[in-house]
């Protein structure tokens, strides 16, 4: 029995088309049942569009074409798939290569290679129709906006409701939440802090999720909240399939077009506070903005918090003693909320009484120290570990190739083919001898033809798989030969290592560096699991990123020195530790202040006494 799937899509976002989509699915199911095929999956989406971008169900179907999941795709008509010539030919190319069939139930026929010309012409006509339709729609929108027409809001426009007469009214409950955002912003709170405050008060968006700092910033910037509507801000360009921002001189601005959520004074004050914060940030980051990829780092997207799972973000601050710039990486949850230990929230949050604040107590990573650590890892450990990983990977790939040796299955299919051909010869002989009638012969011959075609298709599929396996085997041999002869893993740099790192989990006292096997071997197109290989490099760093613990350890060293030699002087401590005399005196004063030592004597004569828990 042939395995079939259906693909259905409406042409617009109108509700009437949504109902038509239900009918389209029902028609496709009826067709599959009538043909005697087995329905194994459905790809249904209501998203319209001339291209395949953003159409998740179509893209899932396109990817599944490579899998042995179905034999036939059932659609209503060609334009249900797309109205784009390039996308159509890409679809047909993969459909043909993977030996799948396309059935259009309106025409009651399969797509064949003979249809390539006519379907190509149809795709061109459909694309041209969409182009003209796009021009008409854009022109209608522009005329409406130019002539001060009705405001078009999407269903998810927060704080507003569309009325039956096409007017816009405030949703008072949601408008009150937006007013609070403006008030907090005008009071000097940043959008991340506002997000935390709303979250702790149990205020969620329409999707039942907390407001993000980005969505709050978008709300505060939007002039519609002071009653001003800006039309024709963006324009969809059909040829580039991109939304283009229209210059200010081409926009249409209408004041008091909708009910105001906040006063113009509050709107201006909130946006002024944001502008001031941005200006300060840009001034501090002025030196970091020089370069081709502004604000990007090789570590971006790879550092993850091992405590809470959130990503680490790159931030900067000024060193107090010399005002130099220091870059560091911190957990997103800490940046949003602060710490749990001791209720040490971010400074802005301390101004607000919060009942619950779930933060993160993980360390910050000083960027300079982090790169020094990674450089040491690359020089001392990575080359050896990479060699081991690559060897294990090669071994596993070879095992997979052996397990997937399909030559035996090809021979079995050839045996089946020979058996069918013999049955066909026997059937012809029976017909000639008059043993069976012509009608019985035709029925049996049709069954054998179908079985023979299925066997041929299977042989072709197995042979293609066998060729891919041989090619992969040759690639593996080339990779292994290159590794042995050219010493490509002899030297590793931080940059080279990070290119092959998938993620780095950050814990308070160590890192877990996870490598990507495909990148290591240049086999990005090969799906191989590395779960059975030790692809994680653990790097212990102790208190290298914990400033307070570092200072405490240094002071503990001073305590041990005083235990060994109670008559030791500050100058002797400075020489022993390789620090300045003032530095040694500072450590001694800190230990006195903490009640861990005291000096038994006067005028420089006496000895040091170490206290245990404040006691002798």
Q: What is the mean pLDDT of the chain?
A: 76
444 compared with 349, residue with greater pLDDT: 444
Lowest mean pLDDT among 32-41, 132-141, 225-234: 132-141
Which is it for the CA torsion 111, 112, 113, 117, positive or negative? negative
pLDDT of 177 reads: 93
pLDDT of 385 reads: 55
Query: How many C-alpha atoms does 166 have within 13 Å on its Cβ side?
Result: 4
In whole angstroms, give the CA distance from residue 328 to residue 312: 10
In whole angstroms, give the CA distance from residue 367 to residue 374: 10
CATH top-level class of 160-286: alpha beta
185 compared with 537, residue with greater pLDDT: 185
Residue 200 has pLDDT above 90, yes or no: no
Could you please report the per-residue DSSP string of 408-447?
Answer: HHHHHHHHHHHHHHHHHHHHHHHHHTTSS-HHHHHHHHHH
pLDDT of 70 reads: 92
Tell me if 197 sits within 8 A of 189, measured CB to CB. Answer: yes
pLDDT of 275 reads: 87
In whole angstroms, give the CA distance from residue 330 to residue 325: 16
State pLDDT tens for residues 320-330: 667 788 889 99
In whole angstroms, give the CA distance from residue 525 to residue 468: 12
Q: How confident is the model at residue 351 (pLDDT cuts 50, 70, 90)?
A: low
In whole angstroms, give the CA distance from residue 241 to residue 235: 10
Fold of 547-610: Arc Repressor Mutant, subunit A (1.10.10)
In whole angstroms, give the CA distance from residue 194 to residue 160: 21
Residue 494 has pLDDT above 80, yes or no: no
594 compared with 146, residue with greater pLDDT: 594
Phi and psi, residue 487, nearest 5°: 55, 45
Determine the average pLDDT of the residues in 301-317: 89
Neighbours of 577 (CB within 10 A): 15
Question: Does pTM surpass 0.85?
Answer: no
pLDDT of 255 reads: 85
Determine the average pLDDT of the residues in 203-217: 89
24 compared with 291, residue with greater pLDDT: 24
Fold of 3-134: Rossmann fold (3.40.50)
Lowest mean pLDDT among 53-57, 316-320, 347-351, 435-439: 347-351
Residue 534 has pLDDT above 60, yes or no: no
Residue 74 has pLDDT above 90, yes or no: yes
Q: How confident is the model at residue 532 (pLDDT cuts 50, 70, 90)?
A: very low
Helices (H) and strands (E) in the chain, counts: 19, 20
Could you please report the per-residue DSSP string of 459-486?
Answer: HHHHHHHHHHHHHHHHHHHHHHHHHHHH
What DSSP designation does 75 have? E
Could you please report the per-residue DSSP string of 349-383?
Answer: HHTS--S------PPPEEHHHHHHHHHHHIIIIIH
In percent, how much of the chain has pLDDT > 70? 68
Which is it for the CA torsion 149, 155, 157, 162, positive or negative? positive
State pLDDT tens for residues 437-464: 888 888 888 888 888 888 888 888 877 7
Q: How confident is the model at residue 167 (pLDDT cuts 50, 70, 90)?
A: confident
Q: Order the strands of the 325-331 sheet from edge to edge.
A: 312-318, 325-331, 365-366
Q: How confident is the model at residue 72 (pLDDT cuts 50, 70, 90)?
A: very high
Which is it for the CA torsion 422, 425, 431, 437, positive or negative? positive
pLDDT of 95 reads: 86
Nearest to 373 by CA among 541, 219, 232: 541
State pLDDT tens for residues 99-139: 889 998 988 888 876 655 555 555 566 566 666 666 666 66
* Burial class of residue 140 in the structure, from the number of CB atoms within 10 Å of its CB (0-12 exposed, 13-18 middle, 19+ buried): exposed
Residue 84 has pLDDT above 60, yes or no: yes
Residue 586 has pLDDT above 90, yes or no: no
Determine the average pLDDT of the residues in 343-370: 73
pLDDT of 39 reads: 93
* Angle at 75 (CA atoms; ends 70, 76), nearest 5 degrees: 165
Q: How is residue 299 written in tokens?
A: 């570590």
Chain centroid to Cα 234, Å, comes to: 26
Residue 336 has pLDDT above 50, yes or no: yes
Element (H, E) at 103: strand 101-104
195 compared with 118, residue with greater pLDDT: 195
pLDDT of 246 reads: 72
Q: Is 10 helix (H, G, I), strand (E, B) or coil?
A: coil
- What is the residue whose two structure tokens read 């101004």? 351
Q: How confident is the model at residue 288 (pLDDT cuts 50, 70, 90)?
A: very low
pLDDT of 32 reads: 92
* Angle at 385 (CA atoms; ends 380, 390), nearest 5 degrees: 145
Residue 470 has pLDDT above 70, yes or no: no
Q: How confident is the model at residue 427 (pLDDT cuts 50, 70, 90)?
A: confident
pLDDT of 580 reads: 87
Determine the average pLDDT of the residues in 9-34: 75
Determine the average pLDDT of the residues in 17-31: 83
């Amino acid at each position: 029995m042939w395995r079939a799937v259906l693909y259905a899509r409406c042409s617009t976002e109108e509700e009437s088309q949504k109902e038509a989509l239900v009918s389209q699915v029902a028609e496709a199911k009826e067709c599959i049942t009538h043909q005697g095929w087995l329905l194994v999956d459905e790809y249904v989406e209501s998203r319209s569009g001339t291209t395949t971008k953003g159409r998740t169900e179509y893209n899932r179907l396109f990817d599944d074409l490579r899998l042995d999941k179905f034999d036939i795709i059932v659609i209503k008509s060609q334009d249900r798939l797309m109205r784009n010539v390039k996308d159509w030919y890409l679809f047909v190319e993969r459909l043909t290569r993977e030996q799948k069939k396309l059935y259009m139930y309106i025409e009651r026929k399969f797509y064949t290679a003979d249809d390539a010309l006519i379907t190509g012409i149809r795709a061109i006509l459909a694309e041209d129709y969409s182009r003209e339709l796009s021009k008409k729609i854009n022109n209608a929108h522009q005329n409406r906006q130019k002539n001060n027409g009705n405001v078009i809001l999407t269903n998810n426009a927060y704080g507003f409701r569309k009325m039956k007469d096409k007017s816009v009214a405030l949703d008072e409950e949601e408008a009150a939440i937006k007013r609070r955002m403006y008030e907090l912003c005008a009071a000097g709170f940043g959008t991340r802090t506002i997000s935390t405050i709303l979250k702790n008060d149990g205020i969620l968006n329409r999707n039942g999720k907390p407001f993000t700092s980005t969505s709050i910033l978008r709300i505060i910037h939007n002039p519609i909240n002071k009653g001003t509507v800006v039309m024709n801000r963006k324009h969809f360009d059909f040829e580039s399939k991109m939304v283009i921002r229209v210059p200010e001189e081409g926009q249409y601005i209408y004041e008091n077009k909708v009910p105001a959520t906040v006063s113009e004074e509050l709107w201006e004050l909130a946006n002024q506070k944001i502008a001031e914060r941005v200006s300060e940030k840009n001034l501090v980051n002025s030196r970091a903005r020089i370069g081709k990829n502004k604000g990007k780092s090789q570590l971006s997207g790879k550092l993850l918090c091992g405590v809470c799972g959130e990503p680490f973000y790159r931030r900067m601050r000024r060193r107090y003693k010399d005002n130099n710039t220091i870059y560091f990486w911190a957990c997103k949850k800490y940046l949003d909320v602060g710490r749990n230990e001791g209720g040490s929230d971010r400074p802005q949050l301390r101004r607000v009484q919060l009942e619950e604040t779930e933060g993160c107590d993980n360390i910050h990573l000083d960027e300079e120290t982090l790169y020094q650590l990674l450089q040491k890892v690359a020089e001392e450990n990575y080359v050896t570990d990479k060699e081991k990983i690559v060897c294990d990977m090669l071994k596993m790939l070879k095992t997979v190739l052996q397990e997937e040796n399909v030559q035996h299955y090809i021979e079995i299919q050839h045996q089946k083919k020979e058996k069918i051909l013999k049955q066909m010869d026997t059937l012809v002989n029976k017909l000639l001898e008059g043993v069976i009638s012509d009608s019985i012969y035709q029925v049996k011959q049709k069954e054998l033809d179908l079985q023979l075609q299925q066997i041929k298709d299977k042989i072709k599929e197995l042979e293609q798989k066998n060729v891919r396996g041989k090619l992969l085997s040759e690639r593996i041999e080339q990779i292994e030969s290159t590794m042995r002869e050219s010493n490509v893993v002899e030297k590793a740099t931080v940059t080279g290592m990070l290119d092959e790192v998938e993620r780095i989990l950050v814990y308070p006292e160590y890192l877990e560096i996870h490598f990507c096997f495909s990148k290591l071997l240049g086999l990005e197109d090969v799906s191989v699991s590395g779960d059975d290989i030790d692809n994680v490099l653990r790097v212990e760093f102790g208190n290298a990123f914990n400033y307070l613990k570092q200072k405490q350890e240094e002071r503990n060293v001073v305590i041990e020195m005083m235990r060994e030699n109670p008559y030791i002087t500050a100058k002797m401590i400075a020489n022993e530790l390789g620090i300045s005399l003032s530095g040694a005196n500072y450590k001694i004063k800190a230990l006195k202040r903490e009640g861990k030592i005291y000096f038994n004597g006067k005028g420089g004569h006496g000895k040091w006494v170490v206290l245990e828990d404040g006691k002798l």
